[in-house]
Each structure stands twice: as structure tokens, then as C-alpha cells.
């Protein structure tokens, strides 16, 4: 640890490069930014009264009370990431109980879920005026993991009578919804 601390101090003093200093400090905390980057599968979930996805004028997915989940896949994501995110989404308590407190999950209410692939969630927006999609998964890998995520969700909420609808990966989709609350959360694995 002492060597790492000294190395971080040396890099900070010798170089004015903020990235190097940032990276060195992250090594001290035990997790480098490089280790963390791209290993987080993302879902932006919204509690909805109803939602639908239309592709080429045709409704391809439609739900009533439940969750609309926009799902982003990054390069380093894997099947385990997809499964963990599916468990979190299905179990996240965002629905009101009898006392109007958010204590019920999608499984508890036997609700519906509309899953929409959205690669723009993986964008890096920290610099400049244009997003970078360098951390987004390539289309083939993204589609495979999105499909695996859908299968995992179906396995979890299907046991309880919940219904899964999806958008179409890579399609130009028109998404409409009535957000209930509004209640919106950013979930990561």
C-alpha cells in the first residue's frame, strides 16, 4: 500500500495530466476506473399506467400497469450481468402498498413489463457536446445480451403470472407511456 501511495503522489507531482492523477487515486481506493468502465448493464425503469412500442406503424409491444424498462448493454457485460439486472428489475419495490408506500415489486403485483433496448444509455456524456458510444456493446453482443435479459425476466415474473413484452433490437421505435408518479429509477448491475 505504501508503494501505491508513493506512486500516486509521484504521478500527481510529476504530471499535470488530470487523468493520470485520477486513475492513480482510483488505484488507491482499490478499484480503477478502467476496471469499472463497461461492466455495468443498465436499466432505466419507469412505473407506468400503460406503455407501448410501435415499429413501422405496428404496435410490437404493449402493457398496462407495470414497468417500462429501457435497457443498455456495454462491451464488457455478460450473461451474469443480464441475469443480475433482471433479478433487480423484477424485485425492485416501486409499487405502492395499502399504505401508499413503495413496498411492492413487479412480482408482488403480478404486473407487466415492456423491455426496450436502448444503446444510448451506454453513452459517455462527461465531455463535449456529443455523446461517445465507445463503451456500448457491438450490435451482435448487445442483441444477444438483451435477449438473454428478456429470457431471465420472463423466467422470474412468468412464475407469478407476469407478462413480458419487448421492443425490437436495432429498430427505429416509437415509445409512448403514461408515467405513474412519476416514478423513474436508474438501475445498474
CA distances from 185 to 30, 103, 128 (A): 27, 15, 25
Tell me whether residue 118 is one of the annotated catalytic residues. yes
Half-sphere exposure of 11 (CA within 13 A, CB side): 18
CB 106 within 8 A of CB 156: no
Would residue 120 show up in a list of annotated catalytic residues for this protein?
yes
188: cell is 445498474
- Find the catalytic residue in 22, 120, 125, 133: 120
Please tell me which residue in 46, 52, 74, 119 is annotated as part of the active site: 119
149 in Cβ contact with 115 (< 8 Å): yes
Whether 74 is catalytic? no
Catalytic residue among 52, 118, 165, 166: 118
All 3 cell numbers of residue 6? 508513493
Is residue 137 within 8 A of residue 74, CB to CB? The reply is yes
Kindly list the catalytic residues.
118-120
Amino acid at each position: 500500500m505504501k508503494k501505491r501511495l508513493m506512486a500516486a503522489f509521484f504521478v500527481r507531482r510529476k504530471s499535470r495530466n488530470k487523468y493520470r492523477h485520477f486513475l492513480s487515486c482510483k488505484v488507491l481506493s482499490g478499484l480503477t476506473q478502467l476496471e469499472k468502465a463497461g461492466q455495468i448493464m443498465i436499466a432505466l425503469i419507469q412505473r407506468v399506467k400503460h406503455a407501448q412500442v410501435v415499429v413501422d406503424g405496428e404496435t410490437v409491444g404493449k402493457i398496462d400497469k407495470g414497468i417500462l424498462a429501457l435497457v443498455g448493454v456495454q462491451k464488457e457485460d455478460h450473461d451474469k450481468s443480464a441475469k443480475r439486472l433482471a433479478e433487480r428489475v423484477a424485485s425492485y419495490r416501486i409499487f405502492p402498498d395499502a399504505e401508499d408506500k413503495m413496498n411492492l415489486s413487479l412480482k408482488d403485483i403480478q404486473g407487466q413489463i415492456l423491455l426496450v433496448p436502448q444503446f444510448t444509455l451506454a453513452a459517455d456524456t462527461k465531455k463535449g457536446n456529443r455523446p461517445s458510444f465507445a463503451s456500448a456493446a457491438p450490435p451482435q453482443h448487445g442483441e444477444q445480451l438483451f435477449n438473454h435479459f428478456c429470457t431471465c425476466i420472463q423466467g422470474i415474473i412468468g412464475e407469478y403470472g407476469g407478462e413480458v413484452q419487448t421492443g425490437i433490437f436495432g429498430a427505429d421505435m416509437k415509445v409512448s407511456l403514461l408515467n405513474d408518479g412519476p416514478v423513474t429509477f436508474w438501475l445498474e448491475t
